[in-house]
Amino acid sequence: MALSTGAQWAAATPALIFGFAPNQVHPFTLPTPDGEKLYAWHVLPLDVYAKHRTALQQDPNLPLCLLRTDPKAKVAVVLHGNAGHVAQAWRTDTYRSFTSIAHTHVLAIDYRGFGKSTGSPSEAGLITDGIAAVQHVLSNWGVPPERIAIVGHSLGTAVASAVTMYFADQSSSLIPNATVADSSPTSKPAQEAIHFAGTLLISPFISLPSLLLDYSIGGVLPLLFPLRHLRFAHPLLAKVMHSPWPTALRLKAYFASSTSPSSSPSSSSSTSTHRAVKGTVHILHALDDREIPPRQSEGLYAALTGRSVPWPDVGTKRPLRAEHVFADRKLVVEFVGKGGHDRVCTYSGPNLALRDMFGLGQSDADM
C-alpha cells in the first residue's frame, strides 16, 4: 500500500472552497522537533464561531484566544489516511461533524511529504508528526489531556495508535528509534504517562503485513490472498518491510501498561455507554469497507482480548458492538452496516464516539 502525498492540491481559501464559514478554518504551520513544517488546520466549533463571527473577521489571533480561555474547550486531533491532504474527499465533512459538538475544536495536519508539508514520509516520521500535533495542543494551546481525543482513519489509525502508546510509555521499544519527540521544557517528564479522553480508530488494520495479505485492489482483486494462510507469509513480509505499522502490538502494550490496582480484565457487550472512561480506545469499522476488510478490526479485538467479537444472533436488533475493560482503560469495537472505507467518517458513529469520550453522551447541556 503505497503512500500518496497529494502534492497537487488546491491552494484555495478553505472557507470558500470547502464549505466552511468565513474564518472558521485557520491554516497555520506546525513545526516538528526534527525541523519539518507541517501544514495544519485549526477548525473552530460551530457554536463558538456563531457567538464570535463578527469579531473573527477582524482579529486573526482570536481563534486561539477563544480556545485558550474556554474551560470547556475540547480538541480532536485528526490524523488522515494514506492519500492526499487535509481537505481531500470526505475529510472536510468529517471536520464539520466533529465541530458540531459543543466546544470541540479540530486540529488536522498533513504529514511530512503530504499536501503542503515539507519532508518525505516514513513510519518514524509520521509518528513524529502525530506526536508533534498532540504536543502542540498540550503545550501551545494549553488543553489538558482529558479534553483531547486522537482520531485516526485508515493509515492514520496506525499513527494514532503509536502516538497513544508513546504518551502512555515514552520508553516503549515499539516506538521506532528514529522517532523524534518534543524535548521542550513544557513537555511532561518521560516517565509520566499521559492519558487522553480517548483514541478513535476508524477502519484500522492489525499491521501492514497482515493488511497486505488481506488487501484487495478496488475491493475486487486480492493482492496477496494466496499467501494468507501460509505460516511463513506474515513474518516474511514483516522482515522485508521497513514500515510494519504493528498496531495490534502497540495497542496490546498500551492496555498492558495500565497501573490501576484492578488489573483483571472484564468483558461485556452493551448497546450504549454514556460515561467517559480514562484511556478509551474505540474501533469503528463499516461492514461494506472494500479497502480494509472489517475482519481486520475483528482481528484487533481478538489480539487484544483473546476473545472473538460476540456477534449478535441473526435477526436480532442488538448493535454490532462489544466492550472489554482493562483496569482503568476500555476497548470498544463497533461495526456499522454502511459507510465504506471513507464516508463512514462522516456518519453518526464517529461523532457519537467522540461525545462518549468527552463524557457528553446524552447530557450535552451539562458540559
Question: What is the per-residue pLDDT across 80-136, written as a single tens digit (0 to 9) for each?
Answer: 998 889 998 899 999 999 999 999 999 999 999 999 999 999 999 999 999 999 999
pLDDT at position 213: 74
For the CA atoms of 41, 42, 43, 48, the dihedral, rounded to the nearest 10 degrees, stands at -170
Buried/exposed 67-103: b ≥16 CB within 10 Å, e otherwise: beeeeebbbbbbbbbbbbbbbbbbbbbbbbbbbebbb
User: What backbone phi and psi angles, to 5 degrees, belong to 101?
Assistant: -80, 135
**For residues 92 and 108, is the Cβ–Cβ distance under 8 A?**
no
Extended strands (E) in 100-233? 104-109, 148-153, 198-202, 216-217, 221-222
pTM: 0.85
What does the alpha-carbon distance between residue 113 and residue 121 come to, in Å, rounded to a whole number?
5
What does the alpha-carbon distance between residue 115 and residue 121 come to, in Å, rounded to a whole number?
11
β-strand pairing of 280-286 with 320-326 = unpaired
pLDDT at position 273: 43
What does the alpha-carbon distance between residue 267 and residue 310 come to, in Å, rounded to a whole number?
10
Local structure of 172: helix, strand or coil = coil
The three cell numbers of residue 205 are 488494520
Identity of residue 339: G
Extended strands (E) in the chain? 25-31, 37-43, 74-79, 104-109, 148-153, 198-202, 216-217, 221-222, 266-268, 280-286, 320-326, 329-336
If we measure between CA atoms, which residue out of 142, 37, 25 comes closest to residue 92? 25
Count of H helices and E strands in the chain? Answer: 12, 12
Angle at 110 between CA 105 and CA 111, to 5 degrees: 125
For every one of its 367 residues, what pLDDT tens digit does the chain have, with 9 covering 90 and above? Answer: 445 555 445 545 666 778 899 999 999 999 999 999 999 999 999 999 999 999 999 998 999 999 999 999 999 999 999 888 999 889 999 999 999 999 999 999 999 999 999 999 999 999 999 999 999 999 999 999 999 999 999 999 999 999 999 999 999 999 998 787 754 444 444 568 899 999 999 999 999 888 877 765 554 445 444 444 444 444 544 444 567 899 999 999 999 987 543 333 334 444 344 444 578 999 999 999 998 999 999 999 999 999 998 877 655 555 689 999 988 899 999 999 999 999 999 999 999 999 999 999 755 444 4
Within 10 angstroms of residue 365's Cβ, the number of other Cβ atoms is 7
| All structural domains of the chain with their residue ranges | 14-207+245-358
What does the alpha-carbon distance between residue 105 and residue 92 come to, in Å, rounded to a whole number?
13
Angle at 14 between CA 131 and CA 98, to 5 degrees: 55
pLDDT at position 279: 85
Range 14-207+245-358: architecture per CATH: 3-Layer(aba) Sandwich (3.40)
pLDDT tens by residue, 315-338:
555 568 999 998 889 999 999 999
If we measure between CA atoms, which residue out of 302, 320, 303 comes closest to residue 311? 320
8-state DSSP, 224: S
pLDDT at position 224: 44
